[in-house]
Amino acid sequence: MDWEQGWLIGWKRSDTIPINPLDSDYDAPPVLDEMQPAKEPRFDMDVKKAEQITKKASTQPTKLLMMVGIAAAGLLTVVVGTRMVSEAVTGKKFPTLPSFLQTETPAPDSWKSIVAVKPYYLLAIRHDGKYELRTGGRSAWRYNNPGKLVHSGFSRKHKALGSDGKLALFPSYEAGRRALEVMLFESDMGFQSKTIEDAIIKFAPKTDKYDPASYAKAVAKTTGTTLTTYLTDLTEKQRSLFLDEVETQEKYIMGKTTLFKNATEFDLRGW
């Protein structure tokens, strides 16, 4: 078999273009693209698919934030709901919610900050922007502190804005009374497990120039109980009467309140 026959047989068995080694015009491999052009590489991803991927990626943070928000709202609902049910069943109030779960808006007439506090007067800025000057009266009233609580970590936790060097300054009467209530009946400071007599000895000791014996008798009389009645046994009404008597014993006596529209007006006629 000569080379031409072999060449033809090879051509028939091959999937490529045959090459004649004796062809004088041969100087390079054949160009396959002339018979079956190669596919060009694609860099143009499907536009719709790309948009879908981009949109999906961009919505992930939003979805995450929405999930966190829903979870937080659910937690708040569960906490508040559980507390309401528990209070309704037991008839007792539980400690206030942590500050980060509270959503109450400060009353316009409550204090935002303290400008000055001196013996017999106090100047504060209210949430409505007005300046409030309190003169005369007693410190329990001037400081919105009906229990004359000493400034501490406890008073700070219950909204105290500062102190006169000893006693806490609360932004409103309600805040001061609530702090007193929590201290006596709901905190872990050791009052609620005591009798009225022992609780008053701890709350108003002789070392602070009190007469705890007469103080305790007054509280027992006002609440319609005895010196040996435990604070945990007091009804809601008796607890309120207990706080009322503490205010009386701490001399919650009102003085004069003067309001000024702003700092300019106070500077003109405040002093």
Exposure letters 94-121 (e unless 16+ CB within 10 A, then b): eebeeeeeeeeeeeeebbeebeebeeeb
- Domain presence at residue 7: no
Q: What 3-state class would DSSP assign to 42?
A: coil
Q: What type of residue is 43?
A: F
Total domains, the chain = 2
Q: Which domain holds residue 111?
A: 107-189+255-271
- Per-residue confidence of the chain (271 residues) as pLDDT tens digits? 554 444 444 444 444 444 444 444 434 444 434 444 444 544 444 555 556 655 555 556 556 666 666 666 665 555 455 555 455 555 555 555 555 455 678 999 999 999 999 989 999 999 999 999 999 999 999 999 999 999 999 999 999 999 999 999 999 999 999 999 999 999 999 999 999 999 999 999 999 999 999 999 999 999 999 999 999 999 999 999 999 999 999 999 999 999 999 999 998 887 6
Q: Is residue 4 domain-resident? A: no
Residue 64 lies in a domain: no
Q: Are residues 259 and 128 in the same domain?
A: yes
222 and 151 share a domain? no
Is the CB of residue 93 less than 8 Å from the CB of residue 186? yes
To the question of pTM greater than 0.75 for the whole model, the response is no
Burial of 192 (C-beta count, 10 Å sphere; 0-12/13-18/19+)? middle
Flag whether 85 is in a domain.
no
